[in-house]
Amino acid sequence: MKKILVTGGAGFIGSHVTELLCNRGYAVTVVDDLRFGYKKFVDRRALFRKHSIEDLKAMEKALEGIDAVMHLAASSIISVSYQKPLEYFENNFTNGLTLLEAMRKTGVTKIIYSSTSSVYGEPTKTPISEDMPTNPLHPYAASKLAFEYALQAYYYSFGIESVSLRYYNVYGPRDEQKPPTRAIPMWIDAVLRNKPVPWYWQGRQIRDYVYVKDIAQAHLDVLNLKGIHCFNIGSGKGVLMKDVFKMLEKIVGRKLKTKDMGERLGDPMRSFADIRKIRHAVGWVPNVSLEEGLAKTLAYYT
């Protein structure tokens, strides 16, 4: 399996997946319409095709000779999904079905899918295991879960194998989300501009942070699995946002001011992963500690 197509390969996580695949000797094709990605992030060793996955004919052409797909193209800002729910279901679910149809027509039978831990909603207990109930609280989470069900249908109906990776809180270099909504890049931006650090819930939430290069490695580790699978991808550890803030203060070497943003719609108070399932299946574990990853991320943005 040497020819991989990466959708959303010009984005934050997709560009790291593409880079790692190229480093490991894979022939990579990137499909990205650059609505949320940046051409400068696409590894020069990859073939770049600028179009949307909603273009069936273009996707059929892009998939010629491809062995597997890594599907990261998505609309992913939770707050925007409340404002534009139809757009989110169209891009994350309906356009995903177009991708699956293109795969079915061209005989590509393997897909690794970028899902999200937000499919669980507010969990009844932590750590969260994959067999716990799903309860999406917003259109973004619902659209991602809907596509997981589509993958199940395409496996049993057409033999397309899949692995859904439910990411927890991903952070690291190249996170250029517009507008920025993720805490770590917002905080680092505030630090570098000598402004108060914006935080929600006064830092009382518990989160699970996983470095982007560890996420990329998970995509490669599951590539040869047979059948249909779903895995949590996190650190396996819950951390108070207050403690993440203190860690950032330690790294920059000074006290930081905060700006209280109040509560935020759609935020569970506690969310961290049980990662035993993927560890047992393929041996994946995160290698970059939160403090090390924060330092690397700060260095990138600096």
The candidate with the shortest Cα–Cα distance to 164, out of 231, 211, 72, is 231
The candidate with the shortest Cα–Cα distance to 62, out of 17, 115, 9, is 9
Is 140 considered catalytic here? yes
* Alpha-carbon distances of 73 from 18, 127, 203, rounded to whole Å: 13, 28, 30
The candidate with the shortest Cα–Cα distance to 54, out of 38, 73, 39, 82, is 73
**139 class by beta-carbon count within 10 Å (0-12 exposed, 13-18 middle, 19+ buried):** buried
- Please state the φ and ψ torsions of residue 215, each to the nearest 5 degrees: -60, -45
- Would you say 41 and 13 are in contact if contact means Cβ atoms under 8 Å apart? no
Residue 75 is which amino acid?
S
* Alpha-carbon distances of 101 from 3, 53, 85, 284, rounded to whole Å: 19, 11, 23, 30
Q: Choosing from 140, 154, 167, 211, which is the catalytic residue? A: 140
Enumerate the active-site residues.
140
